[in-house]
């Protein structure tokens, strides 16, 4: 099953969105769905829009930081049978719980290897001052809750200083270091292997968690 760490809250000053020019002609309702989504279907998928690993529709990250975050995610999937994706938003819809939303989005996109379930999703809500890190159940062996908590704590000072991009880089570097230290050898990619991976319709490896994993042990999902 997917795992999550304790949430980092109230870490510093709010960073206001800078909406990209290409969204300026959209109706207000459509903008709300993009920038403050209430459903996972409404989150801008960076693999389909920009072939990136960073969904930042409001351009809350400086360009240089966004590029470095993307490069770190690319390094992770190039070197390991794993994937990391970063979602940066001002906030979610008022009735949406961030922890459950992060878990649902990881599963909806199918982040991570299809067999190993090695996906990592980082959700940063700058207006709500919330940070969520969610892993597939395979990657949770290397990044259990206590490790994710430690990674989040290492990110808080830069978040509090108003540097979300630097904070995200810090967290991803920590995740890469843990993979180097503790991941099984068979998780490591052979050179050039990542470019040959099959992708699902969302552009990820297909690491969906079966519905049965969310059911109580004495119940079985209907066929």
pLDDT tens digit sequence for 83-93: 999 999 999 99
The helix/strand/coil state of 216 is coil
What is the Cα–Cα distance from 150 to 6, expressed in whole angstroms?
Answer: 10
Asked if the model's pLDDT at residue 210 lies above 60, the reply is: no
Q: What is the pTM of this model?
A: 0.82
**Contact between residue 139 and residue 118 where contact means Cβ atoms under 8 Å apart:** yes
Q: In sequence order, what are the residues at sequence separation of 6 or more whose Cβ sits closer than 8 angstroms to the Cβ of residue 217? A: none
pLDDT tens for each residue of 148-178: 999 999 999 999 999 999 999 999 999 999 9
The pLDDT, as a whole number, for residue 19 is: 45
135/137 Cα distance (integer angstroms): 6
Residues contacting residue 100 through CB under 8 Å, at least 6 positions apart: none
Whole-number percent of the chain with pLDDT over 70: 76
3-214: which CATH number, 3.50.50.60, 3.40.470.10, 3.40.50.10800, 3.10.310.50? Answer: 3.10.310.50
CB distance 139 to 112 below 8 Å: yes
pLDDT digits (tens, 9 = 90+) for 44-56: 999 998 899 999 9
């Amino acid at each position: 099953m997917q795992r999550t760490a304790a949430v980092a809250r109230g870490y510093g000053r709010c960073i206001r969105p800078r909406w990209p020019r290409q969204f300026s002609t959209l109706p207000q309702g459509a903008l709300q769905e993009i920038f403050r989504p209430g459903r996972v279907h409404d989150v801008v998928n960076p693999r389909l829009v920009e072939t990136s690993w960073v969904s930042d529709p409001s351009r809350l990250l400086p360009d240089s930081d966004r590029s470095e975050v993307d490069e770190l995610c690319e390094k992770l999937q190039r070197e390991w049978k794993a994937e990391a994706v970063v979602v940066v938003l001002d906030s979610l819809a008022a009735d949406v719980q961030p922890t459950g939303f992060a878990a649902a989005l990881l599963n909806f996109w199918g982040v991570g290897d299809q067999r190993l379930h090695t996906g990592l999703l980082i959700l940063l809500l700058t207006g709500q001052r919330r940070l969520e890190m969610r892993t597939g159940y395979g990657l949770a062996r290397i990044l259990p809750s206590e490790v994710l908590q430690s990674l989040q704590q290492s990110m808080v000072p830069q978040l509090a200083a108003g540097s979300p991009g630097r904070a995200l880089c810090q967290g991803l570097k920590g995740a890469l270091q843990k993979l180097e230290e503790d991941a099984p050898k068979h998780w490591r990619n052979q050179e050039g292997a990542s470019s040959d991976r099959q992708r699902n319709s969302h552009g990820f490896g297909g690491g969906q968690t079966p519905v049965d994993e969310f059911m109580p042990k004495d119940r079985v999902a209907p066929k």
